[in-house]
């Protein structure tokens, strides 16, 4: 029985060692699933796309079918505008940041217009947590606080 266990353990070890070079060749190395997925979507796109955002908001905010139908075009438009801002090479970093902040505020107003009072409260908490995480990432990277 001990020999069988040792043989199984050795087999797992050999298999694990054989997978590591393949992962390294594919550029996956120690990269987590989320990081790998993010890296595949492009340099400037971060977070979830409109469809993923809608699914997440539906679960977290308990959106009705009617609210989902109203929310979908808001999120899609925001994604399109966000991509256009990132692709606009004529913008300075400051201009891009300002446009992104304006877009976030505009879409936030539209999103909140679809929500009821309880959902708005949850949404505001979600946004606050998102901002705190972003500030922490910037701090960790030595970039200071966003303006």
- Taking the domains of the chain in order of start, what are their residue ranges? 47-140
- In the numeric block, which tokens belong to residue 78? 């925001």
Residue 130 pLDDT = 86
Q: Name the packing angle between helices 93-114 and 117-140 (round to 10°).
A: 160
**Contact partners, residue 139, CB within 8 Å, separation at least 6:** 145
**CA distance linking residue 67 with residue 59, whole number of Å:** 12
**CA distance linking residue 14 with residue 23, whole number of Å:** 15
Model confidence, pTM: 0.62
- In the numeric block, which tokens belong to residue 113? 């217009």
- Mean pLDDT split into 10-residue runs, the chain, 147 residues: 58 49 43 40 62 94 96 95 94 94 94 96 92 88 64
Q: What is the DSSP letter of 90?
A: T
């Amino acid at each position: 029985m001990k020999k069988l266990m040792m043989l199984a353990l050795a087999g797992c070890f050999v298999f694990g060692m054989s997978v590591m070079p393949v992962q390294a060749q594919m550029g996956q190395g120690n990269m987590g699933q989320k990081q790998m997925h993010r890296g595949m979507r492009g340099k400037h796109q971060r977070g979830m796309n409109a469809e993923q955002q809608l699914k997440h908001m539906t679960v977290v905010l308990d959106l009705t079918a009617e609210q989902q139908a109203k929310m979908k075009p808001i999120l899609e438009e925001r994604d399109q505008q966000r991509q256009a801002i990132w692709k606009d090479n004529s913008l300075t970093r400051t201009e891009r940041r300002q446009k992104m902040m304006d877009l976030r505020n505009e879409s936030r107003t539209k999103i909140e217009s679809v929500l009821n009072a309880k959902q708005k409260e949850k949404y505001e908490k979600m946004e606050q947590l998102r901002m705190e995480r972003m500030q922490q990432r910037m701090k960790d990277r030595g970039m200071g606080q966003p303006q």
